[in-house]
C-alpha cells in the first residue's frame, strides 16, 4: 500500500461518511502494530464505531487492545464527556463564591454544541502537542469524523489561534472562550504539526462514485489550503471485474465504478492512489480487519451453496409516503450514519410528496451536502435549500451589527465585531437557520436531510440548550415558551426516520442513535434500510454472499428495533436525477436505468 510506505508518526483517515475510513484506519493500526510498532488508534468522530469494529468497549480512555495486538492501544474521544470535564474546570473555581443563579447561568452558557466541540478539540490537540501524553507511541492513527466536520476540526487550530491572537480585551462568546486563553500555545503547536509533512500524512478515503469523488476533491483542496498538503488517496470497495461477468447488477455496478474512475477530478489524479476490492464479509472483528489490506480471494468458498429467498416480503418507501402524505404537512427528518443514503432518501420522499401536489421544502444541515447533485433538476411544488454555515454566519453577523451594534460607540462596536469573529458564532447562526426552516412545517412539508449522526446530535444538543434557556428565562413555567425542541418531541408535528444499510456497524449505530433520541424525548417514527441487495438476489457469488449477510440485519431491525420500516433496493445505476430517484419509492416499477 502506497499510503503505508514509510509512514510518518501521524496518519489521518478522512472522507465522506460510509466509505470505509474507520475500517481502513483500524486495519492500518493493526498492521503497524503487527510489525512490532506501538500504535495509538484515535477516533475523533462524535459517532465513533471503532469499538464496534473491534468488538470491545473503548470509550474516552486509552485502552490496550490485547486481543488484537500487545502493541495496539485505542481511544475514542467522547465529546460529551470532554464537555463535562471542560465545564467543571471553568465552573468549579467559582462554585460557592458566586450566587447559585449566576453559576447556573454559566453552566447553561456552557451547555451548547460549541462548548462540546471546543472541549473535544482540546483533547485532540493535546494528542498532537503533549509529548508526555503520547510518549512511547511510534504512530498515532486518527479515524476522523465525516468530511465536513473534519475540515472544521482541522481549521479550528488556526481559527482559535487567530481569534485569541486578535482578542486583546477578552470575549463574551457564550462563556467557552474563558478557558481558551491558556490553550494558545497548544493550538499553535497543533497547527504546526498538522502542516508538517514529515509528521503528518492525510489519507483521503473514497468510493468509486462520481458524487463521492467530487466531494473528496473538494476536501483535497480545502485541506491543502489549511496546510495539509501531504495527501494520499484510497479507493475502497471496488467490485472485481470477474464478478461483472456473472449477472446484470454486478456488470452495471462495475461499469459505473469504472466510469467514475475515468472521470476522476484532475486534482485527485496526481495523488498516490491505492485501490481496495470489495470483500464478501462484513468488516467487523480481527480476522476481517487483517484481511482488508491484503488482496486475496474476494469470494467466500461457500457462496455457491447459499440459499437465498427469491424475494423478501417487506414494505417499500411508498407505504411510508402514504402515511406521511395523509397529514398534509409536517417535519420529516432523516438521520443516520454517514454514507447510508440520507440525502438520496430525503430527496426521494420530497419528490414523491411534491408529485402528489403537496408543497415541500427539502433542506439539508449537512456541511458536506450534495442535494443539487442528487436531484439534477427542478419540480413543481418543491423548493430546495441548504444551511450553509459560512452564509448563515455572515447573515447573523450583519443582523447583530445592524441591531445591537447600531447604537454603540466606536469602541464598543469594535469589541462586538471582535466577538462575532469567534468560531462560536457559527453555532448560533446555523441553529437559527435550522429553527427558521422547521417553522415552515406548520403549513407545508419540510424534509430535512441532516448531517451524519454525530453532527445531528450536536445540533439537537444546541436545540435542547436553547429550549432550557428559553424556559428558564420565561419565568412562567406553567406556560413555557414554544421552542424547536418541543416541535421535535411532538409526534404530531415531527417524524424522525432513521436510515441505515443492512450491515452490522450501521445497524448498531442506528440503534444507538435511536436510544439517544429517546433520551432526548424524541421517538423515531420509522427505519429505512437502503441499498439492499437481498431484495433481488443476484448471480454474482460475491454479491450473493453480501446479500446473505444482509438477512440477519434485516431480521434484527424488524424484530428488535422498529415496528415500522421500509426496504429500498440497490439499483443498477446511481440514483441521481428525478426519474431515477422515483424508482426507489416504487420498487416494483420497471428500472428506469435500463
- pLDDT tens figures, 507-528: 988 998 898 888 888 899 999 9
Q: Is the pLDDT of residue 471 over 70?
A: no
More confident residue, 419 or 34: 34
pLDDT reported for residue 44: 79
Distance between CA 82 and CA 504 in Å, rounded?
28
Phi and psi at 529, nearest 5°, equal -95, 115
Give the model's confidence band at 235: pLDDT under 50 very low, under 70 low, under 90 confident, else very high.
very high
Are 2-290 and 317-585 equal in CATH topology? yes
Q: Could you state, in order of their start, the residue ranges of all structural domains in the chain?
A: 2-290, 317-585
Sign of the dihedral through C-alpha 129, 130, 131, 135: negative
Cβ–Cβ < 8 Å for 106, 90? yes
What is the CB neighbour count within 10 angstroms for residue 61?
Answer: 10
Strands (E) across 387-426 are located at none
Which H or E run contains 526?
A: strand 526-532
Which H or E run contains 288?
A: helix 286-292
Q: What is the pLDDT of residues 122-134, one digit of tens each?
A: 787 888 888 888 8
Catalytic residues: 18, 20-23, 45, 505
Residue 330 pairs in a beta bridge with 445
Q: Is the pLDDT of residue 588 over 60?
A: no
Q: What is the mean pLDDT of residues 562-577?
A: 86
Contacts of residue 236, defined as CB under 8 A and 6 or more positions apart, other chains included, come to: 19, 20, 24, 205, 206, 207, 276
Three-class secondary structure of residue 111 per DSSP: coil
Sign of the dihedral through C-alpha 134, 138, 144, 147: positive
- Identify the residue whose cell numbers are 480545502: 222
Give the model's confidence band at 145: pLDDT under 50 very low, under 70 low, under 90 confident, else very high.
low
Q: Is the pLDDT of residue 342 over 50?
A: yes
More confident residue, 221 or 227: 221
CA angle 511, 512, 517 (to 5 degrees): 100
Q: Is the pLDDT of residue 298 over 60?
A: no
- Residue 591 half-sphere exposure toward CB, CA atoms < 13 A: 14
Q: Is the pLDDT of residue 420 over 80?
A: no
| 11-15, 79-83, 314-318, 385-389: range with lowest mean pLDDT | 79-83
The mean predicted confidence, pLDDT, of the chain is 81
Which of the listed CATH numbers 3.10.400.10, 1.10.287.3510, 3.40.50.300, 3.30.420.40 matches domain 317-585? Answer: 3.40.50.300
Strand arrangement of the beta sheet that strand 39-43 belongs to? 63-64, 72-76, 39-43, 139-143, 10-14, 200-207, 231-238, 273-277
Q: What is the largest CA-CA distance in the chain?
A: 80
Superfamily of domain 2-290: P-loop containing nucleotide triphosphate hydrolases (3.40.50.300)
Q: Is 263 left (phi over 0), alpha (psi -120 to 50) or beta?
A: alpha
pLDDT reported for residue 35: 94
Give the model's confidence band at 168: pLDDT under 50 very low, under 70 low, under 90 confident, else very high.
very low
Distance between CA 225 and CA 255 in Å, rounded?
34
Which H or E run contains 433?
A: helix 424-438
Max mean pLDDT range (129-138, 310-319, 321-330, 453-462): 321-330
Cβ–Cβ < 8 Å for 397, 420? yes
> Looking at residue 144, what DSSP letter applies?
P
Cβ–Cβ < 8 Å for 281, 574? no
Distance between CA 588 and CA 72 in Å, rounded?
49
Q: What is the pLDDT of residues 523-536, one digit of tens each?
A: 999 999 999 998 88
Distance between CA 472 and CA 394 in Å, rounded?
29
Pairing assessment for the beta strands 63-64 and 72-76 based on DSSP bridges: antiparallel
| 5-14, 76-85, 226-235, 361-370: range with lowest mean pLDDT | 361-370
Phi and psi at 317, nearest 5°, equal -65, -25
Phi and psi at 363, nearest 5°, equal -140, 165
> Looking at residue 279, what DSSP letter applies?
P
- Measured between its terminal Cα atoms, the distance across the chain in Å is 37
DSSP string, 434-502: HHHHHGGGGTSEEEEEPPPHHHHHHHHHHHHHHHHHHHHHH--TTSPPP-HHHHHH-TTTEEEEEEEES
Of 337, 401, 383, nearest to 529 by C-alpha is 337
Cα separation values, 305 from 322, 541, 550, Å: 39, 10, 16
Distance between CA 463 and CA 484 in Å, rounded?
6
Phi and psi at 383, nearest 5°, equal -115, 145
Amino acid at each position: 500500500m502506497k499510503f503505508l510506505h514509510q509512514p510518518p508518526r501521524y496518519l489521518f483517515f478522512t472522507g465522506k461518511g460510509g466509505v470505509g475510513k474507520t475500517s481502513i484506519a483500524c486495519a492500518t493500526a493493526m498492521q503497524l502494530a503487527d510489525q512490532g510498532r506501538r500504535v495509538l488508534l484515535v477516533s475523533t468522530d462524535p459517532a465513533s464505531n471503532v469499538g464496534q469494529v473491534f468488538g470491545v468497549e473503548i470509550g474516552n480512555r486509552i485502552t490496550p487492545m490485547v486481543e488484537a495486538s500487545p502493541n495496539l492501544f485505542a481511544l475514542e474521544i467522547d465529546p460529551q464527556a470532554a464537555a463535562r470535564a471542560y465545564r467543571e474546570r471553568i465552573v468549579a473555581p467559582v462554585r460557592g463564591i458566586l450566587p447559585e443563579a449566576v453559576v447556573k447561568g454559566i453552566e447553561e452558557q456552557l451547555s451548547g454544541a460549541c462548548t462540546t466541540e471546543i472541549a473535544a478539540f482540546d483533547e485532540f490537540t493535546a494528542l498532537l502537542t503533549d509529548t508526555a501524553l503520547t510518549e512511547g507511541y511510534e504512530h498515532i492513527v486518527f479515524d476522523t469524523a465525516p468530511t465536513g466536520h473534519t475540515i472544521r476540526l482541522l481549521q479550528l487550530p488556526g481559527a482559535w489561534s487567530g481569534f485569541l491572537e486578535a482578542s486583546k480585551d477578552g470575549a463574551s462568546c457564550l462563556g467557552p472562550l474563558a478557558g481558551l486563553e491558556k490553550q494558545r500555545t497548544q493550538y499553535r503547536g497543533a497547527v504546526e504539526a498538522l502542516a508538517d509533512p514529515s509528521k503528518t500524512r492525510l489519507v483521503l478515503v473514497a468510493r468509486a462514485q462520481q458524487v463521492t469523488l467530487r466531494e473528496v476533491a473538494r476536501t483535497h483542496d480545502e485541506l491543502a489550503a489549511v496546510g495539509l498538503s501531504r495527501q494520499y488517496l484510497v479507493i475502497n470497495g471496488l467490485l472485481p471485474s470477474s464478478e461483472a461477468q456473472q449477472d446484470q447488477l454486478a456488470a452495471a455496478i462495475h461499469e459505473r465504478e469504472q466510469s467514475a474512475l475515468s472521470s476522476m477530478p484532475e486534482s485527485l489524479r496526481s495523488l498516490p492512489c491505492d485501490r481496495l476490492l470489495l470483500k464478501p464479509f462484513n468488516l467487523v472483528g480481527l480476522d476481517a480487519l487483517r484481511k482488508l489490506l491484503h488482496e486475496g480471494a474476494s469470494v467466500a468458498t461457500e457462496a455457491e451453496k447459499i440459499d437465498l429467498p427469491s424475494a423478501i416480503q417487506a414494505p417499500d418507501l411508498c407505504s411510508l409516503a402514504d402515511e406521511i402524505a395523509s397529514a398534509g404537512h409536517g417535519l420529516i427528518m432523516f438521520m443516520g450514519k454517514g454514507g447510508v443514503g440520507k440525502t438520496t432518501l430525503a430527496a426521494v420522499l420530497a419528490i414523491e410528496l411534491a408529485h402528489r401536489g403537496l408543497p415541500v421544502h427539502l433542506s439539508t444541515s449537512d456541511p458536506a451536502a450534495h442535494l443539487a447533485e442528487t436531484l439534477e433538476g427542478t419540480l413543481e411544488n418543491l423548493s430546495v435549500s441548504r444551511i450553509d454555515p459560512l452564509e448563515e454566519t455572515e447573515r447573523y453577523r450583519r443582523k447583530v451589527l445592524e441591531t445591537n451594534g447600531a447604537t454603540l460607540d466606536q469602541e464598543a462596536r469594535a469589541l462586538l465585531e471582535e466577538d462575532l469573529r469567534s468560531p462560536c458564532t457559527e453555532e448560533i447562526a446555523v441553529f437559527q437557520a435550522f429553527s427558521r426552516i422547521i417553522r415552515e412545517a406548520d403549513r407545508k412539508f419540510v424534509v430535512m436531510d441532516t448531517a451524519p449522526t454525530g453532527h445531528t446530535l450536536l445540533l439537537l444538543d444546541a436545540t435542547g440548550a436553547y429550549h432550557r434557556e428559553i424556559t428558564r428565562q420565561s419565568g412562567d413555567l406553567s406556560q413555557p415558551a414554544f421552542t424547536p425542541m418541543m416541535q421535535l418531541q411532538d409526534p404530531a408535528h415531527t417524524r424522525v426516520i432513521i436510515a441505515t444499510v443492512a450491515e452490522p456497524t450501521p445497524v448498531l449505530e442506528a440503534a444507538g442513535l435511536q436510544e439517544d433520541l429517546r433520551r432526548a424525548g424524541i421517538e423515531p417514527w420509522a427505519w429505512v434500510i437502503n441499498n439492499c441487495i437481498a431484495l433481488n438476489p443476484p448471480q454474482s457469488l460475491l454479491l450473493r454472499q453480501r446479500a446473505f449477510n444482509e438477512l440477519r440485519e434485516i431480521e434484527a431491525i424488524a424484530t428488535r428495533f422498529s415496528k415500522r420500516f421500509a426496504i429500498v433496493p440497490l439499483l443498477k445505476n446511481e440514483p441521481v436525477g428525478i426519474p431515477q430517484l422515483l424508482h426507489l419509492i416504487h420498487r416494483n416499477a420497471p428500472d428506469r436505468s435500463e
